[in-house]
Amino acid sequence: MANSSIRYGASTRKRAAGVKQKKQAFYRCEACGKMTVKRIGTSIWRCRHCNATYAGGAYTMTTPEGEVARRLIAGIKK
């Protein structure tokens, strides 16, 4: 009975490892179409091919919040 609490710690560590993997992924650039967009900061993504900069989610590029932020940046940028 006393051992049941140990299992919760193991499942939390597994979830954290999954987030780390997503951070390393490359995403497709909307400007040049290449899979060269990489996360360079919290919610900031940049294409290594054409240097286009996007605002997205903290860990992936595809969040509803990111869509809004991306439109804002596109409006500011020349």
C-alpha span between 52 and 46 (Å, rounded):
6
Helices (H), 1-78: 6-23, 64-76
Nearer to Zn ion, 32 or 40 (CB): 32
31 touches Zn ion (CB under 5 A): yes
Least distance in Å: CB of 54 to Zn ion? 10
Q: How many alpha carbons fall within 13 Å on the CB side of residue 76?
A: 8
Nearer to Zn ion, 31 or 58 (CB): 31
Cβ 56 vs Cβ 43: under 8 Å: yes
Among 32, 40, 68, 74, binds Zn ion (CB under 5 A): 32
Nearer to Zn ion, 19 or 33 (CB): 33
Interface residue list for Zn ion (CB under 5 A) = 29, 31-32, 47, 49-50, 52
